[in-house]
C-alpha cells in the first residue's frame, strides 16, 4: 500500500497529524519554522501538498508515516519518508521531525536527506544546501514528481482538515476495532515499576517489553511474521507464570498487571514451549550422531522457534502447549489493572515462594519461587516481598520464624566476619560491628 504507518503499537489511539507547514487548519500544532530560501523545506512542502491534493493513495509514490509520543505525552503522526520515481530509479526522501514537550507539539518537518533505493550513497540536507549542483539535481528530481502529480485530479476530501489529517488521510489510516469475544481469557503480564508510572494523556498504557527477536540482518526472515522483530507486552492466561520471549529472563522485580482486552487488534499468540522442544530434539540428534555442536541453521532454528509459531489471536484455535500472548499495541483505558495487595512469603516442600494477594479477588499469585529452603533464600524472598510491597504501598507478610532464622543467620555471618578480621589484623570498626551487627 502506498501509504503505511510504521508503528503498529499506537493502533486504536488517536494522533494529531503533523503537516510540517502551515495549511491554515493546524489548530493545536504550530507550523514548521524554516528559512524561506531553504530549498529542501520548500520543495518538501510543495511535494506533500500535491500528494495530499491527489488523495495520498498514489501507486507510483510510497509514503511512510511514523507515530510517536512527545515528552508531554501527546501523540503525533508525521511523514518519515516519501519514495518517488526518478529517471528509472526510486529516490527515498527522508523527513526530519522534532516533537518538543516544552511547546507541546512544535514541529519541524523538512527533507533531511535523500538517496536512491538500494544505494548507500546518502545525500544529507546540511551538506546538500552548500552545493548548488546538488540543489539543482534535487530540485529537478522533486519537480519531476510534482509534474507527475499535477496531471492527476484533486480528490474530494483533501480540504477537509481536522487535527488528525485531511479527509483522505483519515480514511486511509482508520483502523476498525476488532472487539474481543465475550469468552476471552483474562491475561496477566509482568511490568516493571517505572513503566507503571508512565500513562499517556489519553489514559492508555505502554508496557512494552523486549523484542520477540532482536534486529539482525543474519536471521532468515522467511516464514516469520512481519512483526516478529517488534517489542510486545508479554502475557499469559495463568497468573502464576511469568511470560517471556524465551530469550530474555525477567528480573523478578516486575509487578503483576491484569489485562481484559476490549479489542484484539495487534494481539498475537506464540507457543512459549517450542524453544525447549526444539532444543531437546537437537540435543537428541547430537547424541545419536556423536556431535557436540550445532550447525548454524540448527542454532537459528532454535533461536527463532517461538517466533515461527506467531499467529494473530483472531486466528488462534488452540493447540499450543504454553500459549503466550503478545500484545503489540498500547493498552486502552479500562483494559489493564495493576494487581494490588500485600505480599507474602511462604515455605513449603518445594522451597520458598513469594506471593501477591490480590485485594480485589483474594487470589494469591506467585511472584517468585526459590527451590532451596534455607536462611539465604528466605532473606532474598523477604527482600523481594518488601520491595514489591513498597512499590504497591502495601505490607509484606513475613512469618516470624523466618525473620528469626534470617536474623540468626546474619548474626552468624557477622560473627564469622569479625573473627576473620581479627585474625587478619584488620581491627577497623570491629567495635562498631560488634555493637551493631544488624546494621551490616
Domain residues for the domain of 120 are 3-173
Assess whether 318 and 212 both reside in one domain: yes
DSSP 8-state symbol, 366: E
**pLDDT tens-digit series, residues 173-232:** 999 999 999 999 999 999 999 888 777 777 888 889 999 999 876 888 888 999 999 999
Residue 279: the pLDDT is: 92
Burial of 349 (C-beta count, 10 Å sphere; 0-12/13-18/19+):
exposed
Same domain, 155 and 287: no
pLDDT of residue 104: 43
Same domain, 116 and 155: yes
Give the β-pairing of 75-86 and 110-116.
unpaired
Q: What is the pLDDT of residues 383-431, one digit of tens each?
A: 999 999 999 999 999 999 999 999 998 888 888 877 777 776 555 555 5
| Rounded distance between C-alpha atoms, residue 426 and residue 418, angstroms | 9
Looking at the structure, do residues 433 and 300 belong to the same domain, yes or no? no
Answer yes or no: are the C-beta atoms of 163 and 27 closer than 8 Å. Answer: yes
Residues 329 and 260 in one domain: yes
Give me the residues paired with residue 76 across strands.
16, 68
Domain boundary among 335, 361, 381: 335
Classify 150 in phi/psi space as left (phi over 0), alpha (psi -120 to 50) or beta. Answer: alpha
Provide the terminal-to-terminal Cα distance of the chain, rounded to the nearest Å.
64
What predicted TM-score, i.e. pTM, was given to this entire model?
A: 0.84
- Number of structural domains in the chain: 4
- Whether 179 maps to a domain, the answer reads no
Residue 252 φ then ψ, to 5°: 95, -5
DSSP E strand boundaries for 196-263: 233-236, 255-259
Residue 236 domain-assigned? yes
Give one DSSP letter per residue of 164-191, joined into a string. TB-HHHHHHH-----BPPSS---EEEEE
For residue range 269-289, what is the model confidence (pLDDT) as tens digits? 999 999 999 999 999 999 999
Q: Are residues 168 and 104 in the same domain?
A: yes
Is 292 in the same domain as 236? Answer: yes
Residue 282 lies in a domain: yes
Length of the chain: 440
Mark whether 285 and 375 lie in a shared domain. no
- In a domain, residue 266? The reply is yes
**Burial grade of 205 (CB within 10 A; 0-12, 13-18, 19 or more):** buried
Task: Look at residues 300, 319, 335 and tell me which one is the last residue of a structural domain.
Answer: 335
- For residue range 287-324, list pLDDT tens digits in order: 999 998 998 889 999 999 999 999 999 999 999 999 99
Choose one of 106, 139, 173: the last residue of a domain: 173
Please give the grid coordinates belonging to residue 240: 502464576
- Write the pLDDT tens digit of every residue in 81-102: 899 998 888 988 887 765 543 3
Residue 17 shares a structural domain with residue 157: yes
Q: Are residues 373 and 354 in the same domain?
A: yes
Q: Tell me the per-residue pLDDT of 34-80, one tens digit each, with 9 for 90 and over.
A: 444 466 777 888 888 999 999 999 999 999 998 888 777 778 888 88
**Residue located via cell numbers 550513497:** 121
Does residue 180 sit within a domain? no
Same domain, 331 and 384: no
Q: In whole angstroms, how far apart are CA 7 and each of 186, 328, 424?
A: 26, 10, 62
Q: Does residue 98 sit within a domain?
A: yes
Together in a domain, 318 and 219:
yes
Residue 270 lies in a domain: yes
Amino acid at each position: 500500500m502506498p501509504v503505511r504507518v510504521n508503528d503498529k503499537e499506537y493502533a486504536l489511539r488517536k494522533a494529531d497529524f503533523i503537516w510540517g507547514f502551515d495549511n491554515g487548519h493546524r489548530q493545536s500544532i504550530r507550523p514548521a519554522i524554516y528559512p524561506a530560501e531553504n530549498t529542501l523545506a520548500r520543495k518538501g512542502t510543495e511535494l506533500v501538498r500535491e500528494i495530499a491534493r491527489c488523495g495520498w493513495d498514489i501507486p507510483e509514490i510510497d509514503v511512510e508515516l511514523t507515530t510517536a509520543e512527545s515528552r508531554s505525552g501527546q501523540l503525533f503522526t508525521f511523514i518519515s519518508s516519501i519514495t518517488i520515481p526518478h529517471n528509472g530509479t526510486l529516490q527515498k526522501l527522508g523527513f526530519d521531525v522534532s516533537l518538543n514537550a516544552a511547546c507541546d507539539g512544535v514541529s519541524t518537518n523538512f527533507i533531511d536527506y535523500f538517496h536512491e533505493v538500494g544505494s548507500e550513497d546518502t545525500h544529507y540536507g546540511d551538506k546538500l544546501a552548500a552545493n548548488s549542483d546538488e540543489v539543482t539535481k534535487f530540485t529537478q528530481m522533486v519537480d519531476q514528481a510534482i509534474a507527475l502529480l499535477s496531471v492527476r485530479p484533486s480528490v474530494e476530501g483533501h480540504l477537509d482538515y481536522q487535527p488528525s489529517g485531511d479527509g483522505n488521510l483519515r480514511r486511509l489510516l482508520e483502523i476498525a476495532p476488532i472487539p474481543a469475544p465475550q469468552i476471552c481469557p483474562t491475561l496477566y503480564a509482568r511490568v516493571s515499576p517505572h513503566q507503571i508510572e508512565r500513562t499517556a494523556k489519553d489514559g492508555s498504557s505502554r508496557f512494552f517489553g523486549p523484542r520477540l527477536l532482536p534486529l539482525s540482518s543474519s536471521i532468515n526472515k522467511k516464514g516469520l511474521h512481519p512483526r516478529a522483530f517488534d517489542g510486545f507486552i508479554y502475557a499469559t492466561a495463568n497468573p502464576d507464570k511469568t511470560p517471556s520471549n524465551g530469550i530474555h529472563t525477567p528480573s523478578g522485580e516486575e509487578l503483576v498487571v491484569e489485562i481484559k482486552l476490549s479489542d484484539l487488534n495487534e494481539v498475537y499468540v506464540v507457543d512459549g514451549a517450542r524453544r525447549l522442544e526444539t532444543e531437546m530434539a537437537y540435543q537428541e540428534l547430537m547424541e545419536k550422531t556423536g556431535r557436540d555442536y550445532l550447525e548454524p541453521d540448527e542454532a537459528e532454528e532454535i533461536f527463532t522457534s517461538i517466533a515461527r509459531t506467531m499467529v494473530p489471536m483472531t486466528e488462534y484455535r488452540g493447540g499450543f502447549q504454553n500459549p503466550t500472548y503478545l500484545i503489540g499495541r498500547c493498552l486502552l483505558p479500562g483494559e489493564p489493572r495493576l494487581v494490588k495487595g500485600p505480599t507474602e512469603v511462604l515455605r513449603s516442600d518445594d522451597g520458598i515462594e513469594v506471593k501477591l494477594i490480590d485485594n480485589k479477588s483474594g487470589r494469591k499469585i506467585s511472584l517468585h519461587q526459590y527451590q532451596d529452603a534455607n536462611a539465604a533464600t528466605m532473606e532474598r524472598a523477604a527482600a523481594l516481598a518488601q520491595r514489591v510491597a513498597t512499590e504497591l504501598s502495601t505490607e509484606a507478610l513475613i512469618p516470624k520464624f523466618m525473620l528469626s532464622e534470617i536474623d540468626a543467620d546474619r548474626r552468624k555471618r557477622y560473627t564469622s566476619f569479625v573473627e576473620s578480621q581479627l585474625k587478619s589484623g584488620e581491627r577497623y570498626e570491629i567495635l562498631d560491628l560488634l555493637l551493631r551487627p544488624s546494621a551490616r
